[in-house]
A = this chain, B = another copy of it.
Amino acid sequence: MPYETTTPEQMEAILASAEDAARELLRSTREQRAGYLRAAADALDAAADLLVPIAQRETSLPEPRLRGELKRTTFQLRLFAEVVTDGRYLDARIDRADPDWPMGAPRPDLRRTQFPLGPVAVFSASNFPFAFSVAGGDSASALAAGCPVVVKAHSGHLELSAETARIVSTALHAAGAPKGIFAIVFGTEAGRSLILDPRIKAAGFTGSIAGGRALFDLAQSRAEPIPFFGELGSNNPVFVTEAADRERGEQIAEQFVASFTLGSGQFCTKPGALFVPRGSRILEALRRIDLPAGAPMLNDRIREGYLSSVDELRSHGAAPLVSGSEPEGAAPSPALYISTAEAVLADPHAMLAECFGPSSLVVEYEREDQLPLLAAALEGQLTAAVHAEAGCQVRALVDTLIVKAGRVLWNEWPTGVSVTHAQQHGGPYPASTSSSSTSVGTAAIARFLRPVAFQGFPQELLPDELRERPLRPVPRMVDGQ
C-alpha cells in the first residue's frame, strides 16, 4: 500500500508545525490569506489533467462529473478569498466609551472582532473526492478564517488525497503561507489521534452517522472539548400535493428519478422518500419509467452498505415498485420501493433512514392533511422539498419542515448544492452535529472563528479593522448603528 499510516512521530511533527503556523497566521492580513486561497485554486486548476484520471480510477466516478467537481472546488476557494477580502464576516463592532450608558454604569470603550480558532482537523468524504475532501469546503473555510488545516485522507481515494495535498501545500508555500498551514494524515488511528490532540481546536467531517458520531463523541470527551462540525446523514424527503400530482405528475416522476439516481444516489442530498397521494399519476408514471442501468459504486464498503440498507428497508415491509429488479452485484441497479403513510408513521426511524445509493421509497398517503404529521415524524434533515401548486394550503407542512431541515425547497430537487452566500447545508441532528452552522456556502467561515473584545485599547495595538482609521476598512457596527 503506497500511503502508509501516519506514524506518531510524523503526527507530532505535523501538529507542532500546525501550532507554529497558527501563531504566524494570527499576524497575517486578510489580503495575504485571500492570496493563499487563490494560489491553491490556480494550482489545482492547472493540475486537472493529473488529478482527474487518479480520481476516476479511485472512485469510479465519470470524468465530466469529476471535472465539474474540481471546477466547483476551485470556485469555492476563490469565493472564500472574496469573503476574506470583503471582511463583513468579521462582524466588527465598536462601542465607544459612554458615561451615560443606561445600564446604570458607564460603558467602557469596547471593540469586537473575530480570530481563528487554531489548527482544524478535516475528515474528508468518500463521495466528493474534490469538493468535500482535501481542498474542499471545510479546508477552504478554515484557511479563510486563518486556521491551519490537517486533513485526514479518506481511504476511498488515497492517491488523489496525497496528490491534492502535495499540490495545495506547494502552492500555499509559494504564496508565502507559513510552513505548517496544511498537512495530510493517513489511517484510522491517525484520525483518532488527530481529534484527541490538544493542539487541534475544531474539526470538520462529512460522512456517515456512525462514523461521525464516534468522532463527535471523542471530540466532546477531551479535557478541552472542541467544536465538531459533522455533516452526517439525511433522507431528504419530498412531499407532493394532490394538485401538483394532477398538474405535473409525469414531470415530477421523471425529475424524481433523475434526482435519486444522479451519481448512483451517492449524495447526502439524494431524495430518499417521495410522498404521493394514493392512486397518483406519479406512481403510474414511475411504474412505466425504465430506471437507468446500474453503475459501479464509489467502493466496496459503500456498495455493501447500499445493499444492506435496501435489505433493511424491505425487512420493514417496503415492497419493490416494479417486481424483479433487485439491486445486486458489482454495479447494483437503481431500485424503487413503495410503502404507505401508515407504515412510515409506525416506524419513521427505520422507514426514513438514509440509504446511501440509487434507491428511494415512494410513500402513498390517503389525505393531504397527513403531510404535516408525516413531516413532524422526521428526524433532522439537510433538506426537505415540497411540490405543490401556487395558492395551495401547505403552510402547516412548510412550518413543520422549517423546524426539521436546514434547506427547504419549492418545486425543486435537493441534489445539486449551490455554493453561494445564502446557502445552508446542515440541519438538526443527525443531519449535522451543529445545526447553527453550514458546511457549504460563504457562511461556513463562521465555524472556525471566535470573537475577542478589546477594552480600552490604544489604537496601535488594536487589529486594523477596529481602529478609528483602518488601513483596510470593513463594514462595522458602531455604537449599535
> Which residues of A pack against B, CB within 8 Å?
23, 26-27, 68, 71-72, 75-76, 82, 88, 91, 93-95, 101-105, 107-108, 110-112, 115, 117-118, 216-217, 220, 224-225, 227, 380, 390, 394-395, 398-399, 402-403, 405-412, 416, 418-424, 426, 428-430, 433-436, 438, 442-443, 446, 449-458, 461, 477, 479-480
A433 to chain B, nearest CB (A): 7
* Residues of B contacting A422 in the complex (Cβ-Cβ under 8 angstroms): 93-95, 110-112, 453, 477
A104 in complex: contacting residue of B72, B102, B426, B452, CB < 8 Å: B72
The reply to whether B71 and A406 contact each other, CB–CB distance below 8 Å, is: no
Closest residue on chain B to residue A453 by CB atoms: B424
The reply to whether B408 and A224 contact each other, CB–CB distance below 8 Å, is: no
* Residues of B contacting A105 in the complex (Cβ-Cβ under 8 angstroms): 68, 72, 416, 418
* Residues of B contacting A227 in the complex (Cβ-Cβ under 8 angstroms): 434, 436
A409, A435, A453 — most chain B CB neighbours (10 Å): A453
A57 to chain B, nearest CB (A): 22
A113 to chain B, nearest CB (A): 9
Beyond the given A117-B435, A390-B458, A408-B452, could you list 7 further A-B residue pairs with CB under 8 A, ordered by the A residue number? Answer: A75-B103, A224-B429, A394-B461, A408-B454, A408-B455, A421-B480, A438-B451
* Residues of B contacting A410 in the complex (Cβ-Cβ under 8 angstroms): 454-458, 461
A101, A408, A421 — most chain B CB neighbours (10 Å): A421
The reply to whether B403 and A26 contact each other, CB–CB distance below 8 Å, is: yes
| 17 A-B pairs with C-beta separation under 8 A | A23-B399, A26-B403, A72-B105, A76-B103, A88-B477, A95-B421, A101-B418, A103-B418, A110-B422, A112-B423, A112-B424, A115-B402, A390-B458, A402-B452, A408-B453, A409-B456, A412-B456
